Amino acid sequence: MLIRKPADIRPSEITSESNYLNRRDFMRAGAIAGGTLLTPISMSAMIPVSQGAALGNVGNSAFSTGEAPNSFEDISTYNNFYEFGLDKDDPAANAKNFKTRPWTIEVEGHANKTGVYDLDDFLRPFDLEERIYRMRCVEAWSMVIPWVGISLAEVIKYFEPTSKAKYVAFETLNDPQQMPGVRRRVLDWPYREGLTIAEATNPLPILAVGIYGKVIPNQNGAPIRLVVPWKYGFKGIKSIVKIRFTSTRPKTSWNMSAPREYGFYANVNPEVNHPRWSQARERRIGAGIFARKQKTLMFNGYGEQVAHLYENLNLRRNF
């Protein structure tokens, strides 16, 4: 079933790609529009279908880093998305014809609101924000990405999880016809990830639908993906079709595949090496092969916002 919801959309200025390189050049508009009636305008698609289309109603965020973002080319051509291939350039080559409409998201489990939602209806109650986040891959490379998305904490709050909900689990689309990588048993498909309810309700994570003010490219996880900036990149599940509130820790794809190498928490921690390489230093993509690596920051530099989540947790054992 498709569950429609009243519009509650705050319009903000539309921001060009160049504005993202100096986020002080734009301000969030404060007006609030709309009401409880669903009009033809309010029922229109929030997210354009066409690749590269500009996103409207995008507000600024206080959570953005002041670092300069990577180029759109860096972000959209160097990807891990095994459903479309194992090499970094495979997703951009193999996801060109990936169909992201129609798209539904199923919400289930220990929550007062559950059901199957059309993507635009799922997004409609929430504000679109631009957040420039440092992103760190477990393979010791990093980027700074200007994501556009909605607050995961607000999404969780909206669906009213019950006291039984201790974790939030996510699943990716599993479509061998569109996703050539799924035909290979590299992982136990569909791709699965999860967070504790405390992590999911922290102000930092978002469900992203765009980069650089444009519709998110297929190879980056269209039409909607998770972004958790203090964790390694494999936690950022792409092309989400299911969200489940659960009382038990969900199984996650890389932890099932190689538990010695990939833990459930996957917090960026320079003191815990991957068994096959050090995590103490990282190289910024786009800096060139001769650029010096920089020191990896604990929690990817977001310790002030998230360290309290793990005060009583051994981060070497719970990696």
The predicted-structure confidence for 165-196, as pLDDT tens digits, reads as follows: 999 999 999 999 999 999 999 999 999 999 99
Tell me: pLDDT of 292 over 60: yes
Q: What is the pLDDT of residues 1-30, one digit of tens each?
A: 444 333 333 333 333 344 433 333 333 333
Which residue is associated with the tokens 């998230």?
Answer: 306
Tell me: pLDDT of 41 over 50: no
Confidence label for 314 from pLDDT (cuts 50, 70 and 90): very high
What share of the chain in percent tops pLDDT 70? 86
Tell me: pLDDT of 96 over 60: yes
Whole-number Å distance between alpha carbons of 190 and 64: 31
Average the pLDDT over 94-102 and give the result: 97
Higher pLDDT, 20 or 114: 114
Q: What pLDDT score was predicted for residue 290?
A: 80
What share of the chain in percent tops pLDDT 90? 82
Which residue is associated with the tokens 């489940």?
Answer: 244
Q: What pLDDT score was predicted for residue 46?
A: 82
Torsion angles phi and psi, residue 56, rounded to 5:
-95, 175
The fold adopted by the segment(s) 52-257 is Sulfite Oxidase; Chain A, domain 2 (3.90.420)
Tell me: pLDDT of 60 over 70: yes
Whole-number Å distance between alpha carbons of 274 and 261: 6
* CB distance 1 to 121 below 8 Å: no
Residue (of 89, 63, 75) closest to 149 by Cα position: 63
Residue type, 116: V
Q: What pLDDT score was predicted for residue 260?
A: 95
The least confident of 8-12, 50-54, 211-215 is 8-12
Higher pLDDT, 92 or 3: 92
Tell me: pLDDT of 224 over 50: yes
Residue (of 11, 17, 60) closest to 214 by Cα position: 17
Tell me: pLDDT of 308 over 50: yes
Average the pLDDT over 107-114 and give the result: 98
Q: What pLDDT score was predicted for residue 36?
A: 28
Confidence label for 291 from pLDDT (cuts 50, 70 and 90): confident
Q: Determine the straight-line distance between the first and last CA of the chain, rounded to whole angstroms.
A: 39
Mean of all residue pLDDT scores within the chain: 88
Whole-number Å distance between alpha carbons of 4 and 106: 14
Residue (of 314, 180, 299, 313) closest to 228 by Cα position: 299
Tell me: pLDDT of 307 over 60: yes
